[in-house]
Amino acid sequence: MCGRYFFQLREQPLPLIQNHEQIALFDFCQGEIFPTQKTLVITDNKKQIAGSVMKWGIKGYHGQIMINARSESLNERKMFRPLLSQRCLIVADGFYEWCKHGNHKDKIFIRKKHQPYLLMAGIYNDQNEYVIITGAAQDEMAAIHHRTPILMDERQGLAYLKQASELRVDNKDLVFQKV
């Protein structure tokens, strides 16, 4: 995943969140989202599924900001192993990739067909910083970029938050728009 996504709060209810009035009280970025910005995520705080605000990116051991984590090596990475039970879902309208054509790049906006929002799997630390979990791209997505966020629908997202599902790439029903 390239490192940017888009999110705009609309009248349409957010996935999995019961108390939508609570979201209006939060201070988070909207529009094109960049690493280190504070954004809306969904967590399971053991009492209920709720919206929360966290910073995108976890400072790594050498001071660099990590924004993504590979699903294939989460269990092996010393930095991510302690966070595996601290799961979150990142709400987005879609995400961006840049597709190279010779010397020039096209910015591509990617979203799920017939879904106003998509949910991306993530993990977070005690400082309320998160990373987006990625997997090897499949189908049409593989022609755009070799990595993709782990995308989930509401049912899969709820199971993921409850520690009851495996991470798996699903690149079906994606829509690609040149921006």
Q: How many CB atoms lie within 10 A of CB 27?
A: 6
**Which of helix, strand or coil describes residue 73?**
helix
Q: Where are the alpha helices (DSSP H) in 24-172?
A: 141-144, 154-161
Conformation bin of residue 144: beta by default, left when phi > 0, alpha when psi is -120 to 50: alpha
Q: What is the model's pLDDT at position 21?
A: 76
Considering the entire predicted model, what is its pTM?
A: 0.94
Indicate if the pLDDT at residue 10 is higher than 90: no
Phi, psi dihedral angles at 159 (to 5 degrees)? -60, -40
How does pLDDT run across 22-53, given as a tens digit for each residue? 787 789 999 999 999 999 999 997 778 889 99
> Which candidate, 3, 7, 9, 2, places its Cα nearest to that of 23?
9
Which residue in this structure is represented by tokens 């979201």?
23
Across the chain, mean pLDDT equals: 92
Domain ranges of the chain: 5-178
pLDDT bin (cut points 50, 70, 90) of residue 1 is: low
**Mean pLDDT within 55-73:** 93
Task: Give me the CATH code for the 5-178 domain, please.
Answer: 3.90.1680.10
Q: Which amino acid is at 138?
A: Q
